[in-house]
Amino acid sequence: NSINGTGGNVTSIINVNNKNGTKMDNAYWNGEMMFYGNGNTAFTPLAGSLDVAGHEMTHGVVQNTAGLEYQGQSGAINESMADIFGSLMDRDDWQIGDDITKTTYIPSGALRDLSDPHNGRTSLSQNGYQPKTMSEYYTGTDDNGGVHINSGIVNYAYYLIANTIGKDKAEKIYYRALTTYLTSQSQFIDLRKAVIKSAEDLYGNVSTETFP
């Protein structure tokens, strides 16, 4: 029932430039509406991507449900939820931004890949690379403690589940986890527990969906 759950307007602003007038290589949710730049060195117009639009709208849904704080692990879960539901709105693949990412910026032609967070790259210094498992977890302070970086770990965990039980069931589980169990300061372990509990609620304690 809209982004806020109460039938609110869904407002998107396109052709957005940076404050200094240069072309914007980004799209974002500002707490009230979505803004889409026309791209520059990395992207073509970002409004041309369904999964990017889904990503930004999901930030609004997160704000109006779990309210995940945009810092550290809770922020990485926030970013991952936006990727997960963005990919579910354009569900033919596991990529984000594959319609608008320039191969001169990321050779794979996608901004992120839930099935392979490394995205064809080999290190964090390369555009498009994300950690895949906790052994690669970023511990620095950049990017609000790695919200866009460590979201790759959560994305990959979702991919493993959805690839096993199917997207139709996985999306129900993750939406219930987001709207029923997660809170503003939830960490990765809390997401794991929320996903398991949501699967139990929907499919039973000893189901394949709960323990794929």
Amino acid (1-letter code) at residue 76: A
| Residues 107-116: tens digit of each pLDDT | 999 999 999 9
211 pLDDT band, cuts 50/70/90, is confident
| Residues 127-178: tens digit of each pLDDT | 999 999 999 999 999 999 999 999 999 999 999 999 999 999 999 999 999 9
What is the pTM (predicted TM-score) of this model? 0.97
Distance CA 196, CA 199 (A): 5
| Residues 49-75: tens digit of each pLDDT | 999 999 999 999 999 999 999 999 999
| Residues 167-208: tens digit of each pLDDT | 999 999 999 999 999 999 999 999 999 999 999 999 999 888
Catalytic site residues?
Answer: 56, 148
For position 212, what pLDDT does the model report? 78
What would the 3-class secondary structure string for the chain be?
CCCCCCCCCCCEEEEEECCCCCECCCEEECCCCEEEECCCCCECCHHHCHHHHHHHHHHHHHHCCCCCCCCHHHHHHHHHHHHHHHHHHCCCCCEECCCCECCCCCCCCCCEECCCCCCCCCCCCCCCCCCCCHHHCCCCCHHHHHCCCCHHHHHHHHHHHHHHHCHHHHHHHHHHHHHHHCCCCCCHHHHHHHHHHHHHHHHCCCCCCCCC
